[in-house]
Each structure stands twice: as C-alpha cells, then as structure tokens.
C-alpha cells in the first residue's frame, strides 16, 4: 500500500511539486541572467579604458624608441586596472 | 585580461548577491507580515531559493576576489574584518554582513536544534546583515555612480527598505505579536 502511494502520488501533490520545482528553476535562471547581464555591462565598459591604455602604451613606446629622452609626464602608463576603484 | 575576468566576476556576483538577498528579504517580509494570502508554500520556497542563490553568489564574490591578480588578497583579507586595510570600513562591513547572511540564513536548517521561537527572533537579524551588505556595495564604490548599478540597487533595495520600515514602524503590529 505504501509502495503504491509513493509510486502514484496524488495529482495535486505532483502538480505542487512541479510548481515548486519551477519556482526554484526560474529563480536560478533569473540569477544566472542577472549575472550575465551585469558581467556584460561591466565588460562592455572595459574596452574604452583598455584601448585608451593600449594606445597610450603604444604611443609611449614609439616615442621612447624615436627619442632617447622621453621624459614627459604622460609616459607613465596608466594601469589596466584603474577601474578597480 | 585574465585578472580583469575575475575582477568583473566578483563585481557581477556581488550584484547578484545583493539583488537575490534584497528580493529574498522582500518575500520574507511579505510572508511574515501576511501581506499575500494563500501562497504560503510558494513564498516559502521562493524565499529559501533566493536566500541560497544569494549565498552561492556571495561565495563566488569572495572566491573570484581571491583569484584577482591586481588586488590579490589573502584568505584572511576577505574573511576576517579589519585585516585587509583596503577601503575600510566598507570592506569589513561587507565581511560582517556576509558572515551574518550565511550564519543567519543557514540557521534555518538547524531551527529544530535552536528552537522555532528563538530561531524566529534570530532570523530577524538577517535584515541587519542585508543592510550591511547594501552599505558595503554603496560604500565600496566600485560601481557606485554608474547608472545601471544605481537603477538595479534602487529597484531591489528601495522596496525592501519600505517593507522593513513598514514592519518596524508598528503598522504590522498584529502580525509581529502573532509571531
């Protein structure tokens, strides 16, 4: 009898289990979605800093190769991680 | 870019933790204030799932910070308050809030041992731990001032704050005494 009950639970119980499982799945999916969205936004904001820094670095290196006395204040490279305030 | 990956991961996971904890707090307050009728089991499951999501995101927030090549903190820096020295007191506020959320949230699974009434009294302090997390995210200031961060934080934190104020202002006095 007990085996039969566990094999065929009441449809209402099955429906409730399914509903609760869906709640958990939706919350997990929403959390992953928020993570991806926030990650993408921060990542998208990154290239501006990175490309500026790379351009600055390449200018600095070319300037220092052209002249032996590259002593301007802009020659100090900005770290990639300045966004880590 | 390798170091940036972990740094962005820690920030994104921190945001997810804040959102999940805020929504979980809202659901918890709606449940305890009996503001939504007839969906008790759904709300309880949602509250539990959101709390566990917040704790997982919090763990990712800490672990990915350990992997960050620029900040490169030690385990003690990110788990013990006032050890790091980085952006204090905001860092320590976050650590205390994180431990509070973990301890008070997971105490649900030991409520039989703690005792239901004592556990309920204890569980109310989760709101204080959440508030510390909110202060940490705003005070730390990495994403503070960015429109997406302000919009996201406002959207989840303001309703939670409103519900908290309503809860403690005495308008839900009947449900407070009932519990």
Min distance A58 CA to chain B CA atoms (Å) = 17
Residue-range definition of the domain harbouring residue A25: 11-47
ipTM: 0.83
In Å, how far are A5, A11, B40, B106, B130 from A15, measured between CA atoms?
16, 6, 16, 28, 34
pLDDT digits (tens, 9 = 90+) for A23-64: 999 999 999 999 999 999 888 887 655 544 444 444 444 434
Per-residue pLDDT of chain B (179 residues; tens, 9 = 90+): 555 888 899 999 999 999 999 999 999 988 887 777 767 788 889 999 999 999 999 999 999 988 877 778 888 888 888 887 777 888 889 999 999 999 998 988 888 888 888 988 899 899 999 999 999 988 876 676 778 888 888 899 999 999 988 888 865 454 444 44
Q: Would you say B55 and B102 are in contact if contact means Cβ atoms under 8 Å apart?
A: yes
B179 within a domain of the structure (yes/no):
no
At A49 the pLDDT is 52
User: Is B53 within 8 Å of A27 when comparing Cβ atoms?
Assistant: yes
At B134 the pLDDT is 92
SS3 state of residue B109: helix
How many Cβ atoms from other residues are within 10 Å of residue B155's Cβ? 12
Number of domains in chain B: 1
Q: Would you say B87 and B95 are in contact if contact means Cβ atoms under 8 Å apart?
A: no
B133 within a domain of the structure (yes/no):
yes
Min distance A46 CA to chain B CA atoms (Å) = 9
At B176 the pLDDT is 44
At A10 the pLDDT is 84
User: Is A84 within 8 Å of B7 when comparing Cβ atoms?
Assistant: yes
Number of domains in chain A: 1
A20 within a domain of the structure (yes/no):
yes
A58 within a domain of the structure (yes/no):
no
What does pTM read for this prediction? 0.75
Min distance A68 CA to chain B CA atoms (Å) = 31
How many Cβ atoms from other residues are within 10 Å of residue A62's Cβ? 11
A71 within a domain of the structure (yes/no):
no
How many Cβ atoms from other residues are within 10 Å of residue B176's Cβ? 14
Q: Would you say A74 and B51 are in contact if contact means Cβ atoms under 8 Å apart?
A: no
Unique residue bearing structure tokens 């508030």: B131
Q: Would you say A75 and A60 are in contact if contact means Cβ atoms under 8 Å apart?
A: yes
- A29 and chain B: CB distance < 8 Å anywhere? no
Residue-range definition of the domain harbouring residue B94: 2-173
**Would the pLDDT of A66 be above 70?**
no
A27 within a domain of the structure (yes/no):
yes
CB-count exposure of residue B154 (10 Å: 0-12, 13-18, 19+): exposed
B129 within a domain of the structure (yes/no):
yes
Q: Would you say B10 and B61 are in contact if contact means Cβ atoms under 8 Å apart?
A: yes
- B70 and chain A: CB distance < 8 Å anywhere? yes
Q: Which among A16, A38, A83 has the least Cβ separation from residue B12?
A: A38
B86 within a domain of the structure (yes/no):
yes
DSSP classification of residue B130: H
- The Cα angle at residue B165 between residues B119 and B149, in degrees rounded to 5: 100
Mean pLDDT of chain A, nearest integer? 64
B145 within a domain of the structure (yes/no):
yes
């Amino acid at each position: 009898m007990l085996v039969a009950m566990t094999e065929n639970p009441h449809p209402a119980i099955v429906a409730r289990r399914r509903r609760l499982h869906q709640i958990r799945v939706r919350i997990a999916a929403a959390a992953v979605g928020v993570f991806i969205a926030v990650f993408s936004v921060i990542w998208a904001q990154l290239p501006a800093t990175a490309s500026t820094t790379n351009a600055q670095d390449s200018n600095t290196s070319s300037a220092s190769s052209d002249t032996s006395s590259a002593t301007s204040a802009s020659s100090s490279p900005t770290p990639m991680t300045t966004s880590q305030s | 870019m390798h170091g940036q990956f972990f740094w962005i991961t820690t920030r994104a996971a921190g945001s997810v933790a804040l959102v999940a904890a805020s929504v979980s707090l809202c659901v918890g307050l709606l449940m305890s204030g009996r503001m939504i009728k007839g969906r008790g089991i759904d709300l309880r499951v949602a509250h539990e799932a959101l709390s566990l999501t917040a704790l997982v995101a919090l763990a990712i927030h800490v672990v990915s910070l350990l992997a960050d090549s620029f900040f490169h903190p030690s385990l003690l820096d990110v788990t013990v308050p006032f050890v790091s020295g980085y952006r204090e007191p905001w860092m320590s506020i976050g650590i205390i809030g994180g431990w509070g959320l973990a301890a008070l949230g997971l105490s649900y699974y030991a409520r039989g041992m703690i005792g239901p009434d004592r556990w309920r009294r204890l569980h109310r302090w989760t709101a204080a731990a959440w508030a510390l997390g909110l202060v940490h995210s705003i005070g730390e200031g990495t994403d503070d001032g960015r429109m997406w961060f302000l919009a996201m934080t406002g959207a989840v934190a303001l309703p939670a704050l409103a519900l908290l104020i309503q809860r403690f202002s005495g308008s839900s006095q009947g449900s407070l005494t009932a519990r």
